[in-house]
């Protein structure tokens, strides 16, 4: 069975140093019927005191605040009284990198905050649906998976040679809880297998570049935010840019990246289903697909396409997924050959690629 949500409204602590933004967020939460504001806080120290006093179901957290900032507050909350946290961050300056770091520390979801001057005019119309979707994902989060801290994987040295075009592909879908899962999974992937990795992480535009840069510092493979027309190279990890669907054109050994702003699918852009279907067409039996933690059902149909094309398909298990929605949907669709915990997925993916390579040599 999938994750269940209580019908009772969930309590939310709203944390932001701007009184205007606190009011906009509080109005959205209070008007939803699904959540209510139990308190607001103006900085990290105030947030810690109100978490202790009110024990909210979910916390929305600003990052750039005087005194104790959002990153430090998240770390303290996850140590002292773990709660699902939604980061509400501006896309400016260091905020993108700090938001990615917040997700690694245990925050579940990320919502882009409008500029203060535009908040009242556009906040309710534009921010509202995104914030409520993030709150739903946070409310469905498994705190035992959020609190789990894995030992960092050793980072392999990068090969000095420039990799050629990829002959095999690993396609990955992730949403809520994904950045933390990717930071554990991707560094454990070995290079030298003639394979490229393509990642759809549901994340706002602008933040995906910071995610790619952060992962690039952890991985033996080179990690980049995907660009239109780029040749899909081996030993390279491509992160779909926020607000753009990513597909492949061409075939094994000649595939290129195609980006578009077609209509969102399942309410998201990028959508993993678009990527997965194109990977199935481009690489066929030389493809491996993986669905990680996340809310909703994006990736299930595309993963089934990879399986029909003769590729290998995997999903993260319930015990390690922050939100089991996407893996559960893929399993229910009959798209998954193997379900495994996060810590085992790198080796399972590498083994699947190895089988693809052995079959290609026969």
Whether residue 119 is predicted with pLDDT greater than 70 in this model: the reply is: no
Whether residue 212 is predicted with pLDDT greater than 50 in this model: the reply is: yes
Does residue 175 have an active-site annotation? yes
Does residue 202 have an active-site annotation? yes
Given this model, what pLDDT does residue 359 score? Answer: 81
Using CA atoms, how far apart are residues 262 and 268, in angstroms rounded to an integer?
11
Given this model, what pLDDT does residue 161 score? Answer: 60
Whether residue 151 is predicted with pLDDT greater than 60 in this model: the reply is: no
Of 2-16, 162-176, 200-214, 255-269, give the lowest mean pLDDT range: 2-16
Q: Which of 62, 194, 235, 298 is catalytic?
A: 298
Question: Considering only CA atoms, which of 82, 191, 190 is closest in space to residue 138?
Answer: 82
Using CA atoms, how far apart are residues 79 and 181, in angstroms rounded to an integer?
19
Whether residue 273 is predicted with pLDDT greater than 60 in this model: the reply is: yes
Of 117-121, 135-139, 235-239, give the lowest mean pLDDT range: 117-121
Q: Which of 17, 46, 202, 317 is catalytic?
A: 202
Whether residue 183 is predicted with pLDDT greater than 50 in this model: the reply is: yes
Q: Which letter does DSSP use for residue 82 in this model?
A: -
Query: Strand pairing partners for 223?
Result: 237
Of 113-117, 213-217, 254-258, 356-360, give the lowest mean pLDDT range: 113-117
From the candidate CATH numbers 3.40.50.180, 3.40.190.10, 3.40.50.300, 3.90.1150.10, the one assigned to the domain spanning 168-361: 3.40.50.180
User: What is the average pLDDT across 119-148?
Assistant: 82
Please check whether the two domains, 10-141 and 168-361, share a CATH topology: yes
Could you tell me where the beta strands, DSSP code E, fall in the chain?
Answer: 10-15, 35-41, 58-61, 85-89, 109-112, 168-174, 195-201, 222-225, 236-239, 245-249, 256-260, 287-291, 312-316, 338-340
pTM: predicted TM-score of the whole model, two decimal places: 0.92
User: What is the average pLDDT across 347-353?
Assistant: 97
Q: Taking all residues of the chain, what is their mean pLDDT, rounded to a whole number? A: 91
Q: How confident is the model at residue 340 (pLDDT cuts 50, 70, 90)?
A: very high
174 in Cβ contact with 182 (< 8 Å): yes
Spans of all domains in the chain: 10-141, 168-361
Using CA atoms, how far apart are residues 198 and 157, in angstroms rounded to an integer?
20
The share of the chain scoring above pLDDT 90, in percent, equals 83
- The fold for domain 10-141 equals Rossmann fold (3.40.50)
Two structure tokens written together for 270: 């990028």
Two structure tokens written together for 2: 């999938």
Q: Which of 64, 175, 210, 278 is catalytic?
A: 175
- Buried b / exposed e along 313-338 (16+ C-beta atoms within 10 A): bbbbbbebbbbbbbbbbbbeeebbbb
């Amino acid at each position: 069975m999938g994750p269940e949500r209580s019908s009772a409204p969930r309590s939310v602590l709203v944390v932001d140093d701007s009184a205007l933004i606190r009011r906009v967020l509080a109005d959205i939460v209070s008007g939803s019927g699904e959540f209510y504001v139990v308190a607001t806080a103006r900085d990290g120290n105030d947030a810690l005191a109100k978490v202790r006093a009110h024990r909210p179901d979910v916390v929305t957290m600003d990052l750039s605040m005087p005194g104790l900032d959002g990153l430090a507050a998240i770390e303290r909350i996850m140590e002292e009284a773990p709660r699902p946290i939604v980061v509400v961050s501006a896309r400016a300056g260091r905020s993108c990198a700090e938001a990615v770091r917040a997700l690694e520390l245990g925050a579940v979801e990320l919502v882009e905050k409008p500029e203060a001057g535009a908040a009242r005019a556009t906040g309710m119309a534009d921010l509202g649906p995104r914030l409520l979707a993030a709150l739903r994902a946070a409310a469905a989060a498994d705190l035992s998976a959020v609190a789990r801290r894995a030992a960092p994987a050793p980072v392999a040295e990068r090969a000095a040679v420039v990799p050629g075009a990829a002959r095999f592909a690993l396609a990955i879908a992730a949403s809520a809880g994904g950045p933390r899962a990717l930071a554990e999974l991707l560094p454990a992937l070995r290079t030298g297998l003639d394979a490229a990795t393509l990642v759809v992480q549901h994340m706002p535009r602008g933040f995906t570049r910071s995610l790619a840069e952060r992962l690039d510092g952890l991985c033996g493979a080179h990690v980049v935010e995907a660009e239109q027309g780029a040749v899909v190279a081996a030993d390279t990890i491509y992160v779909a840019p926020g607000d753009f669907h990513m597909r492949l054109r061409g075939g094994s050994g000649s595939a290129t990246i195609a980006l578009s702003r077609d209509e969102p699918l399942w309410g998201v852009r990028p959508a993993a289903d678009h990527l997965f279907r194109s990977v199935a067409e481009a690489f066929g039996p030389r493809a491996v697909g993986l669905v990680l933690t996340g809310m909703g059902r994006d990736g299930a149909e595309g993963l089934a396409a990879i399986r029909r094309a003769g590729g290998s398909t995997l999903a993260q298990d319930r015990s390690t997924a922050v939100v089991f929605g996407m893996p559960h949907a893929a399993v229910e669709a009959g798209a998954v050959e193997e379900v495994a915990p996060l810590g085992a997925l790198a080796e399972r993916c590498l083994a699947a690629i190895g089988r693809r390579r052995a079959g290609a040599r026969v």
